[in-house]
Amino acid sequence: MRMIRSILFLSAVTLALAFKNPHYATGRTTMVHLFEWKWDDIAAECERFLGPRGFGGIQISPPNENLVIWSRNRPWWERYQPMSYRLVTRSGNEQQFANMVRRCNNVGVRIYVDAIINHMTGTWNENVGTGGSTANFGNWHYPAVPYGRNDFNWPHCVIQGHDYACCADRVRNCELSGLKDLNQRSEHVRTMIVNYMNRLIDMGVAGFRIDAAKHMWPSDLRVIYDRLRNLNTAHGFPSGARPYIYQEVIDLGGEAISRNEYTPLAAVTEFRFGMELSRAFTRGNQLRWLVNWGPQWGLLGSGDALTFIDNHDNQRGHGAGGNILTHKRPKEYKGAIAFMLAHPYGKPQLMSSFSFHDTEAGPPMDGSGNIISPSINSDNTCGNGWVCEHRWRQIFQMVAFRNTVGNTAVTNWWDNGGNQIAFCRGTMGFVAFNNENWDLNQRLQTCLPAGTYCDVISGEKSGNRCTGKSVVVGNDGRAQIVIGSHEYDMVLAIHMGHQSRL
């Protein structure tokens, strides 16, 4: 009896953890959302930058066919209007997709697919997909899947703003801004979705972002997840590995639907994370309070949380929660990103954007709507309208910091009682932040062996010297740490990796 009970207990634990492992290559910790990138460009970026720099994975834009919306000049959000599960979009076709996944996996970088399985397109005047498919909106007919009337939720209704507070069933069974709402209790719908996701798994992807997960019943999602195949061992995954699944549930509190309904299934996007850190790094809160950052702040358990500062929605005022830091406030943004990457809580995701003024505008494109590739400048930053935050030194160097410090704990927390803080990660790394109007100039414990280290924020190691600040650690582990309030960045970071240690 006791044995049966412990077997049952163990299998419940394994089930709960099953979809929460990103299956990064050894020593990697961080993924980046390459928003609206083309597959060929991603493959090249894996080989020339992400692989060598130790990135763990990439969230890609939805790979399935979407409605072409010229009446709005091809907004970025047309990709959230599915026409079919054919792998043809402005990012590339099926062959280019397969090629990207193989080339990225070969250099240790995993691919995570943004899966839109809650709905199909809304009704529009135009009616051709990126793969040439058409639909009959009035009949809820999507022949390229195929879906028909019986595959959608009835009676027809549209989610109203106040539904989020009162009515979970309406949030899940009505349309999200007019997008035709699939019924995931339909056996045919389940089969079509599972076939789509399994095809991607066979092609070597490592997992999925579940778009609009809040708008689907957890019990239906569980059936779908359980039918997914294990990751493809021919792409280097261990046998028996389940896909990594992180569900988009925006839960800032006070709604009928809670993120806790989804954590028993798989990981969840933790939107409170970026909201709180944005507030702290814009001085809406003092950095010293971050001493107990994590669940004590009302955040999810660390293993359940996909963490980020901004995403493709809230960086442009879509979705929920305003005042999120983005690349448009670089000093504060890099501070918040550095804290995310230096602190052990959560599984971090970086945002990599195209620049925009118009919040609806699509990616850089030519007159025919083709996406223009990012160019790479001599200083390794991007051009042609691409921001490429992941190529900012202060950001990619902190990815290396996180990889180096591994599972070490936060120790030797120091603060000035306000907006200057510092801490060690075991004996592997040290980081300091100055978000005051005056300089930080303190002799602090770095927990590192005596020696000279290059600060990876103000510069980098070049041969046997530092292009930015050097930090000399004494035999007692202490070093003089200086971050002027008018410096370009508010962070200083040193660690045991070859990028920092002289």
- Binding Ca ion (rule: CB under 5 A), the pick from 215, 235, 390, 391 is 215
Beta carbons of 392 and 353 less than 8 angstroms apart: no
Q: Which is nearer to Ca ion, 163 or 276 (CB)?
A: 163
Residue nearest to Ca ion (CB): 215
Q: Which is nearer to ligand QV4, 348 or 362 (CB)?
A: 362
One DSSP character per residue, 134-174 reads --BGGGTBBTTTTB-GGGB-SS--B--TTHHHH-HHHHHHS
Q: How far apart are CA 22 and CA 384, in angstroms?
A: 32
Which CB sits closer to Ca ion, 21 or 247?
247
Question: Which CB, 193 or 492, lies closer to ligand QV4?
Answer: 193
Which residues, 6 or more positions from 365, have their beta carbon under 8 angstroms from its beta carbon?
74, 90, 371, 372
Q: How many C-beta atoms lie closer than 10 Å to residue 408's C-beta? A: 15
Q: Name the binder of 320 from ligand QV4, Ca ion, none, CB < 5-8 A by kind.
A: ligand QV4
Closest C-alpha among 285, 217, 273 to residue 247: 217
The answer to whether 183 touches 152, Cβ cutoff 8 Å, is yes
The 3 state secondary structure assigned to 5-18 is HHHHHHHHHHHHHH
Alpha-carbon span 406 to 390, nearest angstrom? 20
Q: Closest separation between CB of residue 3 and ligand QV4, Å?
A: 43
- Among 36, 45, 65, 211, the one annotated catalytic: 211
Instruction: Point out which span in 22-30, 118-126, 332-340, 426-434 binds Ca ion (CB under 5 A).
Output: 118-126
Name which of 45 and 114 has its Cβ closer to ligand QV4. 114
Q: Is position 211 annotated as part of the catalytic site? A: yes
Instruction: In angstroms, give the least distance from the CB of 82 to ligand QV4.
Output: 8
Kindly name the residue from 65, 181, 248, 313 that is annotated as catalytic: 248
Residue 178 burial (C-beta neighbours within 10 Å; 0-12, 13-18, 19+) = middle
Sign of the Cα torsion 313, 206, 173, 190 reads positive
**Catalytic status, residue 248:** yes
Give the separation between CA 287 and CA 289, rounded to whole angstroms.
Answer: 5
Q: State in angstroms the smallest separation of the CB of 447 from ligand QV4.
A: 40
Least separation in angstroms between CB 248 and ligand QV4: 5
Choices 36-44, 137-145, 178-186, 416-424 (CB under 5 A): range interacting with Ca ion: 178-186
Sorted by sequence, the CB contacts under 8 Å of residue 249 that are 6+ apart come out as: 213, 214, 257, 259, 262, 268, 269
Q: Which is nearer to ligand QV4, 338 or 361 (CB)?
A: 361
**CA neighbours closer than 13 Å in the CB half-sphere of residue 405:** 30
Tell me which residues touch ligand QV4 (CB under 6 A): 77, 80-81, 116, 122-123, 158, 176-179, 211-212, 214, 248, 250, 313, 318-320
Residue 181 binding partner per list ligand QV4, Ca ion, none, with a CB distance cut-off of 5 to 8 Å that depends on partner kind = Ca ion
CA distance 43 to 107: 10
Q: How far is the CB of 255 from Ca ion (least distance, A)?
A: 15
Q: How far is the CB of 312 from Ca ion (least distance, A)?
A: 21
Under rule CB under 5 A, residue 181 binds Ca ion: yes
Stretch that binds Ca ion, among 176-184, 314-322, 323-331, 364-372 (CB under 5 A): 176-184
Residues belonging to the active site: 211, 248
Report the interface residues with Ca ion, using CB under 5 A: 118, 172, 181, 215
